Amino acid sequence: MSTLPEDGLVAVVKRDCPTCVMTAPVLGELARRAGIIVYSQDDPSFPDTVALRESDLGLDMSHRLKIEIVPTLIRLEGGREVARTYGWDRAEWERLSGLSDLGRDLPASQPGCGARNIEPGTFERLKVRFNETGLKSRRIEIGGDEDEQEAMFARGWSDGLPLVPPIEERVLRMLDGTGRDPQEVIGLVPPALAAATVEKIAVNAVMAGCKPEYLPVVLAAVEAVLDESFAMHGVLATTMFVGPVVIVNGAVRRRIGMNAKGNALGQGNRANSSIGRALQLVIRNIGEGRPQEVDRATLGNPGKLGYCFAEDEEGSSWEPLSVERGMKPGASAVTVFAGFGLQGVVDQKSRDPESLVRSFAESLKAVHNVKIAPACDALIVVCPEHERTFRDAGWSKARLYEELYRLCEIPGDELVAGARGIAEGGPASLAGKTVNKFRPGGLLIVRAGGDAGMFSGIIGGWSASGGHGSVPVTREVKL
């Protein structure tokens, strides 16, 4: 890398810039009358009007000088920069150079072009090369002959599927997705109770395959599961099936292209899949929560790879889940729910809500076991065709909750251990009483799914639902 003059003029240009080309004769004038060193970002032979040319193909000097626009003209005095101007502006160039009558054939001014060193990708590479990333995570060198994927698998970072290598440039770009300080601690992740900084979460978001614009949603989801009332430690360690299910509401869904429609709970949408996955990778890699270690799940469920979808808000007669739970309409928010799997509710014949709600209620009574009540919380995903039936009959969400609870009152006699030939069940003292399948506030309803198909779903919860265990948590998505 060359050194700058103590006193004098320096310019940074690129041939691929009409303004730089236009000012080439002026640079020649400056070279003759005052002396100047010109750095070229893309072609060492440009401008041929100046003898003292330096190649800055590597963009090191441009980065050091923090060039943003070309041409940039800088005046140095006593080894320090005292003035600079960018683009072509006769008055400014004359002021900096102390010369008059520059570029008399040129217009008074003309804007410059974007400098090469700040192009996306290039900027991050330069920061990495100059060790200016500010990243605090450990750097891990992988041997030249090592396969990246095998190296990451061997280190135990994977959930079983390939990861995107979290190289510095990718982590920097991911952090561009948020305005938050990379060293802000979102919370302590169980079971290791290790600090999840925005940076560490970004690393896992990279590995999961997220785009930078997904990061605020991932951060909100991590914040939500780390709320004490969600009991993430228990949700992880349990022998039961559950993992965090993430429901996204508000403007962010459209902005990042989430799927609330056909196959919303399935594969194929990058945002749905990678956001859910990033959350699980945070638990694994920051919290050290891994299957057959602290995670004692007997079966678990496929959602533990990642379980995230957007609510289908547009055209629904119901308020979005986040609004139901206190967020402002339109505000972007996530709700996390300790849940598992999907129990399908098929009803292709009900034309009225009274009949349809019974289909839901009878299915709900089977969650966990028909003999267990109260069983757990449950998240009901109502498909658009079913929501239409409730909407056409004028049933608000509140009315639907009310009816579901009423239909989920179960005679204690049917629940007692041994009743119906099943040893599972409750104590004999339940006889003669009624018990609700769900605790008050234990049901959540969202709308999602494609417009064709009378197939809704129930996502069952954790038996430790409520104040003594896990409750759903809603958090705003902050950019």
Partner 1 sequence: MAELEARGIPTVGVATTEFIEGAKAQAKSLGTDPALVFIPHPVQDRTNDELRQLADEHFDAIVKLLVK
What token pair was written down for 36?
Answer: 């100047």
Closest CA to 40 of 22, 60, 111, 26: 60
What token pair was written down for 111?
Answer: 């804007």
Least separation in angstroms between residue 131's CB and partner 1 is 32
Closest CA to 466 of 374, 403, 404, 397: 374
Beta bridge mates, 172: none
Q: What is the DSSP letter of 139?
A: P
Contacts with partner 1, residue ranges (CB under 8 A): 191-193, 237, 288, 290, 292-294, 296, 423
- Using DSSP bridges, classify how beta strands 53-55 and 36-40 pair: parallel, antiparallel or unpaired: parallel
Cα 395 from Cα 110, distance rounded (Å):
64
What token pair was written down for 312?
Answer: 């289908």
Number of CB atoms found within 10 A of residue 454's CB? 18
Closer to partner 1 by Cβ: residue 5 or 191: 191
Q: 318 near 387, Cβ under 8 Å?
A: yes
Closer to partner 1 by Cβ: residue 80 or 296: 296
Q: Is 403 helix (H, G, I), strand (E, B) or coil?
A: helix
Q: Cis omega before residue 71 (within 30°)?
A: yes
Closer to partner 1 by Cβ: residue 295 or 414: 295
Closer to partner 1 by Cβ: residue 289 or 353: 289
First to last CA, the chain: 39
Contacts with 293 (C-beta within 8 Å, 6 or more apart), sequence order = none
Question: What is the chain's length?
Answer: 479
Closer to partner 1 by Cβ: residue 288 or 324: 288
Least separation in angstroms between residue 370's CB and partner 1 is 18
Cα 439 from Cα 468, distance rounded (Å):
12
- Using DSSP bridges, classify how beta strands 455-461 and 333-346 pair: parallel, antiparallel or unpaired: antiparallel
Closer to partner 1 by Cβ: residue 164 or 237: 237
What token pair was written down for 212?
Answer: 């930078």
Closer to partner 1 by Cβ: residue 99 or 294: 294
How big, in percent rounded to 5, are the helix, strand and coil portions of the chain?
35, 20, 45
H/E stretch holding 399 reads helix 397-407
Least separation in angstroms between residue 166's CB and partner 1 is 22
Cα 356 from Cα 360, distance rounded (Å):
7
Least separation in angstroms between residue 237's CB and partner 1 is 7
Closer to partner 1 by Cβ: residue 1 or 423: 423
Place of tokens 């598992």: 340
Least separation in angstroms between residue 156's CB and partner 1 is 12
Closer to partner 1 by Cβ: residue 4 or 419: 419
Least separation in angstroms between residue 276's CB and partner 1 is 23
Least separation in angstroms between residue 366's CB and partner 1 is 20
Closer to partner 1 by Cβ: residue 237 or 366: 237
Least separation in angstroms between residue 289's CB and partner 1 is 9
Cα 237 from Cα 190, distance rounded (Å):
10
Least separation in angstroms between residue 135's CB and partner 1 is 24
Amino acid letter for position 470: S
Cα 31 from Cα 52, distance rounded (Å):
8
Least separation in angstroms between residue 295's CB and partner 1 is 8
CA 295 to chain centre: 24
Least separation in angstroms between residue 163's CB and partner 1 is 22
Closer to partner 1 by Cβ: residue 106 or 237: 237
